[in-house]
Structure 1
Amino acid sequence: MAAQPSVSAPLANRDAVLPIRDASRRIVRELGFMKPTLAGTELPASAVHALIEIGNRGGLTATDLCDRLNLEKSSVSRMLRKLIDGGDLAEENSDTDGRAKRLTLTAQGRRTLAAIDAFAHEQVGGALACLPAADHAMVVEGLRLYADALHARRATPGNESKAAAPLAVRPALRIEPGYQPGLIGRAVDMHAQFYARAHGFGAVFESRVAAGLAEFLPRLDRPCNAVWTALDGDRIVGTIAIDGEDLSGPAPAPRIAHLRWFIVEDGRRGGGLGRRLLDEAVAFADRAGFAETRLWTFRGLDAARRLYEAAGFVLAAESPGSQWGTEVTEQSFVRPRQT
């Protein structure tokens, strides 16, 4: 006789349980979790997830990792030892707990993570390409809600004998103009984490981002400058700015806007949030009467380039450069004012 579940789903949810279980199994199979290795590496799924979590957060303790991966300490310890011995992870003393070791990626580990990210981006991006663009945000939000619900059930005491309480309705992500407390720190953190992991940028890049924002924000009292933040509750999950001064020369030279510090938090790209931020920025530039808006980026950021081109930017120039501490092909995009 087949084992019976110990908890019955609420009547209102029974019709959803079987389709969700079926979809979950299919996702597991299609993403390759049934195989002994994952994401084009020679590593098992637990090790791949460990590198992602440690890389995304700049370092974790083994205890933190156990909670994030929902694995027993003994399993995590064995897996971490293999990653350390294999050269992907390093241990250092924790700043907050002398008894704990903080785990960080080595240079080899960053290369491994970059390869994992490239594999995953191609895999997920290829799947999304099979769907209408209008459906992408629905997929992002549905998966996020489902993952949050699974975590909430695990975090609910006594969930072996009762269903978890319903999740509170998540407020919609909102975009707010103007300064928000913590803006510099969050914007710098999002830039540093993404570009270090994906492109190997380091201290030079992070310090330039921080210095630029610190110089710009006190100028927000001038009407030609503006910044917007995407907020999930009180948490900043995206930023963008228009600097109306650093590219504009004295009159009668044409006024030129500089689009800067455009970033969306890891895990939230592809759901339309970046497009919403970009729309706010270019609409402001048009209303303010700038003759054109320019931005600088570099080759390889294909998803961002598609957003720029959809908003009216065109590639104006590209050349090798190393101002961010790593050799890249820098690109300049220009968008004439649209009336």
Structure 2
Amino acid sequence: MQKAGSSPDFYFVDGIRTASRRMVRELGFMKSTLAATDYPPSAVHAIIEIGSRKSMSAAQLAEFLDLEKSSVSRMVRKLIEAGELQEQASDSDGRVKWLALTPQGRRTLAAVQAFGRKQVVGALEQLSANQQDAVAQGLGIYAQALEARRSGKAMEQAGEIRIVAGYQAGVIGRIVQMHALFYARSVGFGSFFESKVAAGMAEFVPRLDHPRNGLWLAVQGQRIVGSVAIDGQDLGDNKAHLRWFIVDDGLRGAGVGRRLMDAAMAFCDAQGFASVQLWTFQGLDAARRLYEGCGFQLKEEWPGAQWGKEMVEQRFERLVAPPGD
């Protein structure tokens, strides 16, 4: 095990380089086109990033992809000519043009996402649950480290994450963003889901001053990287509703989620709720293991579309022991 900040030996480094090359080959990056499209890898990445952010300028895209502006300009022009992208002048600065996906581009993005998810799911099915968590955590942290090296910015370690209670400036937007990006990528949710999360957060946050409501945030430096909330008002009958549990990419499996859940469950125990309930859907196996580790049990499941897409929805419940038991 290498210590943080130490210089790893050559065998260690070469092992990672070998694994990286194998991933590049297996994911198809050595081919002239990617993800069953007619486009090279850089164009496919451009479609994914513009689609996930709704709109970007060419300059922003070049910086994000770490490509020369001239290369991005040529690529964007080809994608516009192919009908994948469209340009719109900025309202505030006529010199800036925003790039967005066309309806054809959105169909291409959906096909790319389906292809990529099939690749990942097929690989993860070869692994145990613990190995899957290790892959998610390790790849995320390694990607952050590569980005930190390129940008010259210091990378903060997961151990520096603090769990804080209550409102923080920007919390609504940040929690909505983490949910939207994760669920768009993992299950294909879109604007309906993002709008529903935003509306729920906007309604809940002004009620944080109520003694039976709580919000806990994982904060790394000044950045919110995780959240969980307890709404003690909306279910009634002395039942608590666990909501908006999310941990940012690269930190899942590092214990951040468990720390957030422990804080929320300690609050519920202290408040004397009869039970804590949460609603989710089938397929989020890592989250389910965490819920069950905190005492939740699956009580119901049914087909539904409250999140904007047909899913097998689930209700979990945790009974809270009376004081003194």
Q: TM-score, normalised by structure 2?
A: 0.78
Matched with 1:81 is 77
AA in 2 matched with 1:265: D
- 1:170 matches 2:153: no
Q: Could you tell me whether the CA contact under 8 Å between 2:277 and 2:316 is conserved in 1?
A: yes
Relative to 1, partners in 2 of residues 1:57 and 1:246: Cα closer, same or farther, differing over 3 Å?
same
- 1:110 matches 2:106: yes
Relative to 1, partners in 2 of residues 1:91 and 1:132: Cα closer, same or farther, differing over 3 Å?
same
AA in 2 matched with 1:335: E
- In the alignment, the residues of structure 2 paired with residue 314 and residue 112 of structure 1 have an alpha-carbon distance, to the nearest angstrom, of 37
Q: Could you tell me whether the CA contact under 8 Å between 2:29 and 2:41 is conserved in 1?
A: yes
- Cα shift at 1:46: 1.0
Q: Among 68, 71, 74, which residue is 2:67 paired with?
A: 71
- In the alignment, the residues of structure 1 paired with residue 229 and residue 267 of structure 2 have an alpha-carbon distance, to the nearest angstrom, of 10
Aligned residues between the structures: 312
Relative to 1, partners in 2 of residues 1:309 and 1:168: Cα closer, same or farther, differing over 3 Å?
closer
Q: Among 316, 319, 324, which residue is 1:337 paired with?
A: 319
Residues 1-339 of structure 1 mapped to structure 2, 5 A cutoff:
12-13=7-8, 15=10, 16-95=12-91, 97-134=93-130, 139-155=135-151, 167=154, 170=157, 172=159, 173-195=161-183, 198-202=187-191, 205-249=193-237, 255-266=238-249, 268-269=251-252, 273-298=256-281, 304-305=287-288, 307-308=290-291, 311=294, 312-321=296-305, 326=308, 328-329=310-311, 331-337=313-319, 339=321
Identity of aligned residues (%): 55
- In the alignment, the residues of structure 2 paired with residue 121 and residue 77 of structure 1 have an alpha-carbon distance, to the nearest angstrom, of 29
- Cα shift at 1:279: 4.5
Q: Give CA-to-partner distance per residue, 1:198-250, whole Å, 9 cap, x none.
A: 54532x5444433322332233233321111122221112222111111014x
Over the aligned positions, Cα root-mean-square deviation in angstroms equals 3.4
Structure 1 counterpart SS, 2:190: coil
- Cα shift at 1:103: 1.3
- In the alignment, the residues of structure 2 paired with residue 233 and residue 275 of structure 1 have an alpha-carbon distance, to the nearest angstrom, of 19
The answer for unaligned runs of 5 or more in structure 2 is 1-5
Relative to 1, partners in 2 of residues 1:12 and 1:187: Cα closer, same or farther, differing over 3 Å?
closer
- In the alignment, the residues of structure 1 paired with residue 83 and residue 283 of structure 2 have an alpha-carbon distance, to the nearest angstrom, of 27
AA in 2 matched with 1:79: M
- In the alignment, the residues of structure 1 paired with residue 243 and residue 9 of structure 2 have an alpha-carbon distance, to the nearest angstrom, of 48
- In the alignment, the residues of structure 1 paired with residue 42 and residue 303 of structure 2 have an alpha-carbon distance, to the nearest angstrom, of 40
Rg larger in 1 or in 2? Answer: 1
- In the alignment, the residues of structure 1 paired with residue 268 and residue 310 of structure 2 have an alpha-carbon distance, to the nearest angstrom, of 28
Matched with 2:3 is none
Relative to 1, partners in 2 of residues 1:267 and 1:96: Cα closer, same or farther, differing over 3 Å?
farther
The answer for unaligned runs of 5 or more in structure 1 is 1-10, 157-165, 250-254
Relative to 1, partners in 2 of residues 1:53 and 1:215: Cα closer, same or farther, differing over 3 Å?
same
- In the alignment, the residues of structure 2 paired with residue 140 and residue 298 of structure 1 have an alpha-carbon distance, to the nearest angstrom, of 20
- In the alignment, the residues of structure 2 paired with residue 151 and residue 26 of structure 1 have an alpha-carbon distance, to the nearest angstrom, of 20
- Cα shift at 1:298: 4.6
Q: Could you tell me whether the CA contact under 8 Å between 1:136 and 1:270 is conserved in 2?
A: no
- Cα shift at 1:122: 4.1
Q: Could you tell me whether the CA contact under 8 Å between 1:292 and 1:334 is conserved in 2?
A: no
- Cα shift at 1:275: 4.7
Structure 2 counterpart SS, 1:229: strand
Relative to 1, partners in 2 of residues 1:178 and 1:191: Cα closer, same or farther, differing over 3 Å?
same
